[in-house]
Structure 1
Amino acid sequence: MDMEIDPTEPEAQIKDEDLFRAADSGDSSVFRALSPQQLLRALSLRNEDDRSLLHVATSLGHLEVVKMLSEADPSIGCTPLHRAASTGNSAMCELLIEEGAEVDAIDKAGQTPLMNAVICQNKEVALLLIRHGADVDVEDKEGYTVLGRTSDDFRPILVDAAKAMLEG
């Protein structure tokens, strides 16, 4: 491939088409030359078939490119419900759950939307997720449960909500 990327230049320009060509051919050197900011931006690109770079590289079996893109993507395994829970958007959480979102979906850190909600101090969302049956006992990859991730002032409220769900 004849692409000119100078990694010493602060924000070397590369065309979206060149990135898709690299994902298609498995040319990991193109992605290695990108700055972290460029790589994050590249993760959001879609081609004319609405496929991401990760979709293209995965479908063609380009392991090195898939590995690089996966490692750069903080949201791999992160569902829309994880995002809505971490931002405190209870209306969006309710809609996603009504549409069938899995309340105990696990992201690559082993965290659930409920964990995201308590870590980000989104109490209303945390209570909503518990009302919808979210598991407070699941452990993330570091061995913490939801209650282990919860602030001291919010923990009793979560415990009461979880007990009410079990009794109710």
Structure 2
Amino acid sequence: MKKIVVHGVKEKTPMGFCDVPRKNLLDFIRDMKSISVPNEPRYKPLRKIHQAASEGDTERLQRMISRGKHGVHDRDFKQRTALHFACAYGQVEVVGVLLRNNCDIDAVDRNFITPLMKAVQNWAYECVCTLLKHGADPNRMDKNGNTSLHYAVCEDNQALAKCLLKYSANMEQKNKDGFTPLLLALKENKIEMAKFLVKKGANIHVFDEMKRNTLLYAIRWDSKDMVNLLLDEGIDFFFKDVFGWTALRYAIEGTSKGSREILMNYDEKLRRKNQDGISEYKNFEDNSLDKHLNDPTSETTLPKSSENACDFDNEPDISKFVLTTCPSNICGAGDQEDKSETKETVDEQKSPPHPGPPKLVMIPPMIF
């Protein structure tokens, strides 16, 4: 493999997209701990029926319900039910008791979080399976547009994601920031989860509101495996974000050395095919967003919510980005007009000149 040398002064990537710190050993240990141990339940029960549900005391819970002093629909000040608490603490037997007493399986709290979401967030696998078997909706969205599959992605739990997909969880549902589960996995550097979703058939051509697609996020984290997988799956190599930057340009200007080598070799491969007469290589000036104009994900609205998409309970203040200038060649309309005008000029040059009016021929008079 040839050695790649990049000359010139590097540019800063737009909005510091690729200027991310690389992980050290401490970060790796922290990640391994988060993978092996779920988060502690964030729900603190205050009402007696919620305490019984959290502690897994099914007998006490059933007595409360039978006596009528407490009900399965009782809510606390955050609109949480006993089923929320049972799922947050992984009490599958309590879940069964509540379901037999006709509780609302898709009850939502004030943040529109369902018991299924709490079960996923706290790795309560048996509770997740029980809820899904009894008809819980995996595609309900919280106030930020996240589904249970988004929660499974943030927890980096493939077992829960597989269970949700078995019960028709939507892999293409976007949250309010415009992230599908796959794009969210790449944004949060959950590479193994992203690979899992791609192999399950997730759409790799999705992009966020800044038109950063899956390949750009893979380059951001310098994931060589993910870059290779996306290229093998047919990702658009020439796709541009709202700044007009391609994946290759991000790789060259950023710090992703491994991705840079892969993309430059891929670019060279396409150039060779073009030289051999295979029309697979496009000019970099051509805009490859034309085929995405009809995609519902192609809005250029900038993100409205916070950068941390995984913080579901304690949402920070909304931050807004304002794009003052936007490249004029995003939609490629100017290129198409130039091409059509050029074609008309060439046609005019090739067409033969007009013959003009017929010439008059003088005929001598006849002599009789």
TM-score range, shorter chain: 0.5 to 0.7
Residue of structure 1 equivalent to 2:194: 126
Match of 1:92 among 152, 160, 164: 160
Distance 2:213 2:143 in 1: 20
| TM-score, scaled relative to structure 2 | 0.26
Q: CA deviation at 1:141?
A: 1.8
Equivalent pair of 2:80/2:109 in contact (CA under 8 Å): yes
Rg comparison, structure with higher value: 2
Q: CA deviation at 1:74?
A: 7.5
Q: CA deviation at 1:89?
A: 0.7
Q: Would you say 1:82 and 2:150 are equivalent positions?
A: yes
What aligned pairs does 1:110-125 form with structure 2 within 5 A after superposition? 110-125=178-193
Q: CA deviation at 1:100?
A: 0.9
Match of 2:80 among 45, 49, 58: 45
Change (3 A) 1:116 1:51: closer
> Which structure 1 residue ranges, 4+ long, deviate > 3 Å from structure 2?
46-55, 162-166
Q: CA deviation at 1:163?
A: 4.7
Change (3 A) 1:137 1:51: closer
Distance 2:167 2:197 in 1: 14
Distance 1:45 1:147 in 2: 40
Change (3 A) 1:132 1:142: same
- Percent of aligned positions that are identical: 24
Structure 2 unmatched runs, 5+: 1-46, 48-76, 83-102, 113-140, 235-368
Equivalent pair of 1:133/1:165 in contact (CA under 8 Å): no
Match of 1:153 among 222, 244, 255: 222
Change (3 A) 1:85 1:54: closer
Residue of structure 2 equivalent to 1:143: 211
Distance 2:221 2:109 in 1: 41
Higher helix share: 1
Report the residue type matching 1:125 in the other structure: M
Q: CA deviation at 1:132?
A: 0.9
Distance 2:164 2:81 in 1: 23
Equivalent pair of 1:46/1:53 in contact (CA under 8 Å): no
Equivalent pair of 2:173/2:180 in contact (CA under 8 Å): yes
Distance 2:168 2:198 in 1: 16
Residue of structure 1 equivalent to 2:304: none
Equivalent pair of 1:87/1:122 in contact (CA under 8 Å): no
Q: CA deviation at 1:81?
A: 0.7
Residue of structure 1 equivalent to 2:169: 101
Greater RCO structure (CA 8 Å; 6+ sep): 1
State the SS of the aligned residue for 2:222: coil
Residue of structure 1 equivalent to 2:288: none
Q: CA deviation at 1:165?
A: 4.7
Distance 1:75 1:160 in 2: 35
Distance 2:202 2:154 in 1: 15
Report the residue type matching 1:142 in the other structure: M
Instruction: Name the count of aligned residue pairs.
Output: 109
Residues 121-143 of structure 1: per-residue CA shift (max 9 Å, x gap): 21211100000111222111222
Equivalent pair of 2:183/2:207 in contact (CA under 8 Å): no
Residues 130-167 of structure 1: per-residue CA shift (max 9 Å, x gap): 0011122211122211222223421x32233235556x
Structure 1 unmatched runs, 5+: 1-15, 17-40, 56-72
Report the residue type matching 1:45 in the other structure: R
Distance 1:110 1:84 in 2: 17
